[in-house]
Amino acid sequence: MNVLAINGSPRKKWNTATMLENALEGAKSAGAACELVHLYDLDFKGCISCFECKKIGGKSYGRCIVRDGLTPILEKAASADALIVGSPVYFGAETGETRSFLERLMFPFTTYTPGYASIFPGKLATALVYTMNVKEEMLEQLAYDKFMGRMQGTMARIFGSCEVLLATDTYQFKDYGKYLSTVWDPVAKAKRREEVFPRVCAKAFELGRKLASAKAS
């Protein structure tokens, strides 16, 4: 049982990475072998629209032909038993690196047929972990629910299933006094970090255990 987590944040020790680490601890508790990959350590680009993955009879049909720092990670993701992708939300979407990873991962398995049927071999248990400054009650107003739901639906269509876990109204800096950030209350942010974020991390732990347990069974 192998679980791969992808950190699409440039920060290796903050909200997104911490949630992924907790998810992997949960997967380990169910007996899984786990790995965490930091996308910002890799040299790669998004889909280059060459369509080699779509060429009938082509040598790269169903897989990305581009060879760069992302290639071995794509191979690991496709052969894993469970995949957890984490990203902070920047300007109402995943980070650029996360989006590029998802493009390269999913496009080769998507066919230009009615319903955009998937050619992914088998099933892959997947999850999306999002962290953001936006408060939960503003998700619908800002249409965050739509972009996250769209990605969840795409992942589920291609791989068979996808769960989503959110951390809203997150603590962004250790010292708010160092940055121009008067839109937030630093005291309230610190309190939420202390009281709420541990509960979200506990949910991440359970998510990892659930993914590993479901696949193992």
The domain limits of the chain are 2-216
Burial 148-176 (b: 16+ CB within 10 A, else e): beebbebbebbbebbbbbbbbbbbbeeeb
Give residue 161's pLDDT: 94
Q: What is the pLDDT of residues 161-195, one digit of tens each?
A: 999 999 999 999 888 889 888 888 989 989 999 99
For CA atoms 68, 70, 73, 75, give the dihedral sign.
negative
Pick the CATH number of 2-216 from 3.40.50.360, 3.40.50.920, 3.90.1170.50, 3.90.950.10: 3.40.50.360
**Would you state the pLDDT for residue 215?**
58
In this prediction, residue 214 carries a pLDDT of 78
Confidence at residue 216, expressed as pLDDT on a 0 to 100 scale: 47
* Statement: the pTM of the whole predicted model exceeds 0.85: yes
Amino acid identity at 8: G
Q: From 183, 177, 178, select the one nearest 138 (Cα to Cα).
A: 183
Vertex 3, ends 48 and 135: CA angle to 5°?
Answer: 75
pLDDT tens for the chain, 217 residues long, are 899 999 999 999 999 999 999 999 999 999 999 999 999 999 999 999 999 999 998 899 999 999 999 999 999 999 999 999 999 999 999 999 999 999 999 999 999 999 899 999 989 999 999 999 999 998 999 999 999 999 999 999 999 999 999 999 999 988 888 988 888 898 998 999 999 999 999 999 999 999 998 754 4
**Is the distance from CB of 211 to CB of 127 less than 8 angstroms?**
yes
